[in-house]
Chains A and B, each alone.
Chain A
Amino acid sequence: MNNQFVFEKKQKTTLGIFMLVGVVCMILSYLMDDGTLHMRFWSNYLTNTVYFLGIAFIITFVLHAKVLMYSGWHVAFQRVWEAFSLFLIVGIILMIPIIAGIWGHFHHLYHWADKAAVASDVVLKGKSSFLNPVWYTAGTLIIVGVWYFFFAKRFRNLSVQEDKEFDPNYTLHKKIKVNAGVFLPIAAFTSAALIWLWIMSVDAHWYSTLYAWYATASWWVGSLALTILTLIYLKSKGYLDIVTTEHLHDLGKYMFAFTIFWTYLWFSQYMLIWYANIGEETTYFHVRMRKFPVLFYGNLVLNFVLPFIILMRNDTKRKYGTLILTSIIVFVGHWFDFFQMVRPGTWLSEIEHANHAAHATHASHAAEHAAPVLSKWGYPEGFVNGVSIPGLLEIGILLGFVGLFFWFVFMQLEKASLVPKNNPYLEETEHHHVM
């Protein structure tokens, strides 16, 4: 059994190329955008940062939840999840340009960050005690910082420390458990606040109480798909013999179950808004259904129809082929979901910004000038690359983030044994049987 992961040169080259592609695509998207706000670049940057940061967060959450709930089966691949959870620190760094942009006004992702717009907008004024740069900055840095330094990092340290010496009282494991009890409620509330700040506030006027749940479910399903892909890759490299079909079957079941959970939340949010039929709320879906149909319906096909049909049978969760296929669909699907949450909103911000600029410069001829501006900055007609459908640049940027994520994860995997040594549940995970 080979428990020491080696980050090979070939992997470094491949991931390096991924990151290079990502950087090139980001630069291209910055330059190619016909707007003045470089919105295509910024919304992609936000989408991917939030997606991967969220994956790291939800894995941290699940690791702690599993410890608290006496779960043992996941211990076989716990180190992979630990490595995922440490990505939080990279997430903080990736958020810094967005935070700086809010203060320096060099992007316009958030309409609420525009002081002039807020002053003339009753809705935004009402929300400004929460949607403001101070909250955004403090929320992001402090909350993600706490997640990382007090929980993800500490979990990892204690877990690695446990490898060194067998302790019949499992003192370190008990420490992790106490930590987990503290973390879960904190994580549950703070993550919702960050989701509101990071992505829901892109549609600054709109809000939904289900949104945080829905986005969290999206992270979780995406991270499960990523876990399955990572595990199968590591197994193909000859590592992690301890992870068997039984573990993958359970992960597959998780993915299937939470696919339905995600759909349940998606549908609940949609149906309640559709049924109540209040203009302020329906505009969100109206815009997406009419002007972004690929995003709206594609999201459902990728994240519900396909995984639901493919994973329904027992044996599709036990075979690598179908598992890999579904995991790729679901992983890209939930990235697509975040793209769908962010892009129409940033497009709207761009329209609002353009209108506002028109009003400000030609206050006296507002009526005259608003119309031409709107026609230039109307909603996309048909399929517009990078707006109503993700284009090649978007895929390239996603690849870049995948490269960055795995570079970091492989670096962490190298630092400790792939299988925890003195974990109290090691015996259980070795004999894990599903059927």
Chain B
Amino acid sequence: MKTLNKEVLFGLYNDETELLSAIKQANDKHLEIMDVFTPFPVHGLDPLLGLKESRLHIAGFIYGATGTLIAFLFMTWVFVSDWPIIFGGKPFFAAPSFIPVTFEFTVLLSAIGMTVTFYTICGMGPGVVNPILDSRITDNKFCIAFDVTHGKENENDYRSFFTNTGASEVHSKNI
């Protein structure tokens, strides 16, 4: 199993309001948070962590537009110039009948494109093993993690931070 060679100190919280107020305090004290793990998307978490708006939707738009063009132009080329056949008495360039396929191909390309992009950005995919700090963070616990590989001297700060903000458990783990 591939390891990141990181020493991580993490605290578990019982609900998202505790988590959000803890992150606010960490920001005030300028403690550098490595990552936050929650079982479900928590509103207001991104701005607190200073995360920028995702650009995934821009990629999605480009994939979608590509799909629209490919499908429409391909069908036009096939039915108008490459192999013109009369279907149901319609003209060769029967644009309305191209629309459903164009629509579906747009959705298909943007969906597949965005999925692949998302997995690539997150470093996920078949054969990749992602270290997990505690299995309960996918269930009912909210986790704040600090990287203590190179900063053993801060560990006490982190531990007191966890006690002050009401973390229910504090653990450290090598990942």
- B and A form one assembly: yes
Tell me whether B126 is interfacial, beta carbon within 8 Å: no
Interface string of B79-109 (1 = CB under 8 A from A): 0000000001110000011011000000000
Tell me whether B43 is interfacial, beta carbon within 8 Å: yes
Enumerate B2-58 residues with CB–CB distance to A below 8 Å. 43-44, 46, 53, 57
Bound-state Cα–Cα, A312 to B57, Å:
10
Q: Which residue of A lies closest to B42 (CB)?
A: A433
Given contacts A270-B96, A433-B43, A433-B44, contact A275 B57 (CB under 8 A): no
CB contacts (< 8 Å) of B100 on chain A: these are 271
CB contacts (< 8 Å) of A271 on chain B: these are 96-97, 99-100
Distance between A281 CB and nearest chain B CB, rounded to angstroms = 14
CB contacts (< 8 Å) of B57 on chain A: these are 314
Given contacts A314-B53, A314-B57, contact A435 B96 (CB under 8 A): no
Q: Which residue of B lies closest to A267 (CB)?
A: B99
A274 touches B43 (CB 8 A): no
Bound-state Cα–Cα, A314 to B99, Å:
26
Tell me whether A277 is interfacial, beta carbon within 8 Å: yes
- Residues of B in contact (CB 8 Å), total 13
Distance between B85 CB and nearest chain A CB, rounded to angstroms = 15
CB contacts (< 8 Å) of A277 on chain B: these are 88-89
Name the interface size band of chain A: 10 to 19
CB contacts (< 8 Å) of B53 on chain A: these are 314
Q: Which residue of A lies closest to B53 (CB)?
A: A314
Bound-state Cα–Cα, A65 to B162, Å:
45
Given contacts A314-B53, A314-B57, contact A275 B44 (CB under 8 A): no
CB contacts (< 8 Å) of B46 on chain A: these are 435
Bound-state Cα–Cα, A275 to B88, Å:
8
Q: Which residue of A lies closest to B47 (CB)?
A: A435
B99 touches A435 (CB 8 A): no
Bound-state Cα–Cα, A270 to B44, Å:
44
Bound-state Cα–Cα, A235 to B90, Å:
53
A435 touches B43 (CB 8 A): yes
A275 touches B97 (CB 8 A): yes
Q: Which residue of B lies closest to A268 (CB)?
A: B100
Number of A-B contacts (CB under 8 A): 21
Q: Which residue of B lies closest to A274 (CB)?
A: B96
Bound-state Cα–Cα, A281 to B83, Å:
30
Bound-state Cα–Cα, A267 to B99, Å:
9
Bound-state Cα–Cα, A267 to B102, Å:
13
Enumerate A268-293 residues with CB–CB distance to B below 8 Å. 270-271, 274-275, 277
Bound-state Cα–Cα, A335 to B46, Å:
41
Bound-state Cα–Cα, A267 to B98, Å:
12
Bound-state Cα–Cα, A360 to B75, Å:
53
Bound-state Cα–Cα, A274 to B96, Å:
8
Bound-state Cα–Cα, A270 to B97, Å:
11
Distance between A286 CB and nearest chain B CB, rounded to angstroms = 14
Q: Which residue of A lies closest to B96 (CB)?
A: A271
Bound-state Cα–Cα, A432 to B43, Å:
9
Bound-state Cα–Cα, A275 to B98, Å:
12
Bound-state Cα–Cα, A274 to B98, Å:
13
Distance between A331 CB and nearest chain B CB, rounded to angstroms = 26
Interface string of A235-274 (1 = CB under 8 A from B): 0000000000000000000000000000000010011001
Bound-state Cα–Cα, A337 to B151, Å:
66
Distance between A425 CB and nearest chain B CB, rounded to angstroms = 17
Bound-state Cα–Cα, A314 to B89, Å:
43
Distance between B105 CB and nearest chain A CB, rounded to angstroms = 16
CB contacts (< 8 Å) of B44 on chain A: these are 433
CB contacts (< 8 Å) of B96 on chain A: these are 267, 270-271, 274-275
Bound-state Cα–Cα, A33 to B96, Å:
37
Q: Which residue of B lies closest to A432 (CB)?
A: B43
Distance between A213 CB and nearest chain B CB, rounded to angstroms = 17
Q: Which residue of B lies closest to A431 (CB)?
A: B43
Distance between A73 CB and nearest chain B CB, rounded to angstroms = 12
Bound-state Cα–Cα, A275 to B99, Å:
12
CB contacts (< 8 Å) of B99 on chain A: these are 267, 271
Q: Which residue of B lies closest to A264 (CB)?
A: B103
Enumerate A287-326 residues with CB–CB distance to B below 8 Å. 312, 314
CB contacts (< 8 Å) of A433 on chain B: these are 43-44
Bound-state Cα–Cα, A172 to B60, Å:
46
Distance between B60 CB and nearest chain A CB, rounded to angstroms = 11
CB contacts (< 8 Å) of B88 on chain A: these are 275, 277
CB contacts (< 8 Å) of A270 on chain B: these are 96
Bound-state Cα–Cα, A314 to B90, Å:
40
Bound-state Cα–Cα, A57 to B61, Å:
36
CB contacts (< 8 Å) of A275 on chain B: these are 88, 90, 96-97
CB contacts (< 8 Å) of A314 on chain B: these are 53, 57
Bound-state Cα–Cα, A214 to B121, Å:
41
Bound-state Cα–Cα, A274 to B91, Å:
12
CB contacts (< 8 Å) of A435 on chain B: these are 43, 46
Question: Could you list 11 examples of A-B contacts with CB < 8 Å?
Answer: A271-B96, A271-B97, A271-B99, A274-B96, A275-B88, A275-B90, A275-B97, A277-B89, A433-B44, A435-B43, A435-B46
**Which residues of B does A touch, CB under 8 Å?**
43-44, 46, 53, 57, 61, 88-90, 96-97, 99-100
Those 6 A-B pairs whose CB atoms lie nearest each other, nearest first: A433-B43, A271-B96, A274-B96, A433-B44, A275-B97, A267-B99
Q: A270-B96, A271-B99 are in contact. List 10 more A-B contacts (CB 8 A).
A: A267-B96, A271-B96, A271-B100, A275-B88, A275-B90, A275-B96, A277-B88, A277-B89, A314-B57, A435-B43
